[in-house]
Amino acid sequence: MIPIAKPYMNAEEAQRAYDTILSGWITQGPMVKAFEDKFAAYTGAVHAVAVSNCTTALHLAMIVAGIGEGDEVICPSMSYIATANSIKYVNAIPVFAEVNEHYNLDVEDVKKRITPKTKAILLVHQIGMPADIDAFKDLCKEKNLLLIEDAACGIGSAYKGAKIGSHSDLVCFSFHPRKIVTTGDGGMITTNNAAFAERLRLLRQHGMSVNDRERHLSKKIVFEEHVEVGYNYRMTDIQASVGIAQMDKLDEIIGGRRAIADIYLKELKDIAGIRLPHEADGYFTNWQSFSIYIKPECKVSRNELMELLLEDGISSRRGIMTSHREKAYEYMSPVSLPVSEDLCDRSIIIPLYYPMEQSDVYKVIEAIKKFVG
């Protein structure tokens, strides 16, 4: 069976984790700091704050942005449910907006959904494809709104020559095993705002005024204070040590993924029954996922194609979910999002990972040609 995704890890990650375990410091310590510094340097952000996963990153971003009860935050429904959930965590209201055919928020639709209660826009870089950051920054400036980026899939992608993570004051990343780099699980928040960074570090560790690393390195007795109600959203040093090894391979991984995506784009472009993703000028995607849209006139349905691929030994996944159609959000007023629903219902994600055997890449291609025709 060809898997949909597979992390690229080997002896380097194992050795770094082994060394960290033997060091005796396995919770939030020097490796976390080193990982944060490496991540900030790579993305071009001033600060990077490591946390337990991307959902907790989004939650803390909402808090430091001052979003609270009754505030509205506009976000895509077409995203993993954690995007909307992070807004609910602070008792704010997710306002679901439409996406374009490239899976990212439609700025014109977002404009229609702004109300006096709107406090922020949560912009998602779906499947690793950068959204139009400048359009949303301009809109936020015009309407006095905050811009928060959900870059769970976006590490290594770039917009107009600058890496995702450097454009806004709150950008949240994921290190889940299906992402480009992984720490088993984990997250990161990048920011250029020193006050945000300071409070994020406070909140991730129970609101404690002095972190463990600083207390351990101090030559004097240090008594910490808990200055506000915080959370246990820490990353371990074991995870961070793995993350450092993964960052060393990041450009190699992305280069390999882009080479595979180029083959898919070249070999599948003439199939009339499907539509392929498009990387616009000025955009650089890490190809975290490769999503194919099955046109209504295609001779097989999306579900039929998935079944046929499975029988042929090829994994696939349905299109990105739409949160407004999940039971968790049934309580909200119905919202019309025809583009999001159509993309969700007619798209499949096909295998793409590094290193992927060329024979497997072409097996996927030949199967799609055979079944779609």
What token pair was written down for 306? 């998935």
Is 179 marked active-site? yes
Which candidate, 76, 132, 115, places its Cα nearest to that of 282? 132
Do 351 and 359 touch, CB atoms closer than 8 A? no
Is it true that the peptide bond before 296 is cis, omega within 30 degrees of 0?
no
Query: CA torsion angle for 225, 228, 233, 238 (degrees, to 10)?
Result: -20
Torsion of CA 177, 182, 188, 192, to 10 degrees: -130
b/e 180-207 (16+ beta carbons within 10 angstroms → b): bbbbbbbbbbbbbbeebbebbbbbbbeb
- Of 179, 249, 295, 327, the catalytic one is 179
Q: Comparing C-alpha atoms, which of 205, 61, 82 is closest to residue 152?
A: 82
Q: How many CA atoms lie within 13 A of 348 on its CB side?
A: 24
| Active-site amino acid positions | 179
